[in-house]
Amino acid sequence: MTSAPAVEAVELRKSYGTAVVLDGLTLRVARGSVRALLGPNGAGKTTTVRILTTLTAPDGGAARIDGYDVVRERRQVRSRISLAGQYAAVDEEQTGVENLRMMGRLAGLGRADARRRAADLLDRFDLGAAGGRRVAGYSGGMRRRLDLAASLVGEPSVIFLDEPTTGLDPRSRQALWTVIADLARGGTTVLLTTQYLEEADQLADTVSVLDGGRLVAEGSPAELKERFGAQRLDLRLRDHASLVEARARLGTRVVHHDPGRLEVGVATDGSAPHIRDLLDEVDPARRTVVRFTVRGATLDDVFLALTGHPAAPAATRPEVTNV
């Protein structure tokens, strides 16, 4: 079994009615690594996780966890995985301890083992003091930590985290990142989905960028940034007319656009000749560009370069996606 990757998905397909959610997705996640599935809402991230965690059957393709098929060997798969969902799936009217003990018993632990495990996990997730209180009184961050603890009760070898920090404030998010990073250091394979580029950047060894149910890029955060422009040249224009003109000149090379600040960004290798060329191209008469900044590319730029739309939450995403 040691040779099998922790997660292996080949040509996964899934449609709901006429809506194609997964369109031939192939993934391989090495044992002990942290993989981020990055993509906007509707990219197929949650469906991928549901298939890999045996909750949904694929229409086509195959997936294996530790070498076990998620459809035919569901039981073996289920004994190796755990899932922490988009919402904390813990009971509000039970205490932290009760929730964890229950999960322990369901995972096949004896009464005493379940009790011990619950106490260990509460301590480890900094919930020791709150363990005896009902979850209804927990903060959002505490709930997510409890949810994560609950998913570890059965000592899974692969853990799936579906948007683990969505809706959390920055401090709780940071705290949860620490916990997830520790988990990975402990040897557990982690597959997480996220819309936050920073999250992928912080946690993942490898990022798989999904769009429209397909894999559009894969690599370490550094590799991806490197490949899709190591640097970004941001130009501040004199007025709106100049901004429109600059965008027209750069066309599809625009990777950043902020009309409020009269800014437009374009990928560059950061070398003086290239930057000089770009400046000359955008502003041949040397009148419209007032300032420029060269900065390291973010995964946001990568995402935009790959898919033609930013990886922001749906509310701020443009209606039409032109890839």
Partner 1 sequence: MSELVAKGPTAWSARNGGPTGPDGTARGVPSGPARGGSAAVRALVLVARCVRLSRRNADALLMSLLLPVMLMLIFVYLFGGAIDTGTRYVTYVAPGVLILCAGFGAAGTAVSVTTDLANGVIDRFRTLDVGPVAILGGHVVASIVRNSVSTVLVLAVAVGIGFRPAVEPLRWLAAAGLLLLFLLAISWLSATFGLLTRTPEAAGGFTFVVMFLPYPSSAFVPVETMPTWLHGFAEHQPVTPVIESLRALLLGTPPGSAPLQAVAWCLALLALAVTASAVLFPRRVR
Residues forming a β-bridge with 17: none
Nearer to partner 1 (CB atom), residue 135 or residue 235? 135
Nearer to partner 1 (CB atom), residue 216 or residue 254? 216
Nearer to partner 1 (CB atom), residue 263 or residue 301? 301
Nearer to partner 1 (CB atom), residue 78 or residue 256? 78
Q: Smallest distance, Å, CB 312 to partner 1?
A: 24
Q: Smallest distance, Å, CB 261 to partner 1?
A: 33
Phi, psi of 84 (to 5 degrees): -115, 120
Q: Smallest distance, Å, CB 189 to partner 1?
A: 7
Closest CA to 121 of 90, 153, 83: 153
Q: Smallest distance, Å, CB 73 to partner 1?
A: 12
**Cβ-based neighbour number of residue 202 at 10 Å:** 18
Residues forming a β-bridge with 237: 289
Q: Smallest distance, Å, CB 78 to partner 1?
A: 4
Maximum CA pair distance of the chain?
79
Nearer to partner 1 (CB atom), residue 223 or residue 245? 223
Interface residues with partner 1 (CB under 8 A) are: 1-2, 6, 28-33, 35, 50, 53-57, 66, 74-75, 78-83, 85-87, 89-91, 93-94, 98, 102-103, 105-109, 124, 134, 150-151, 154-155, 157, 184-189, 205-206, 215, 217-220, 223-224, 227
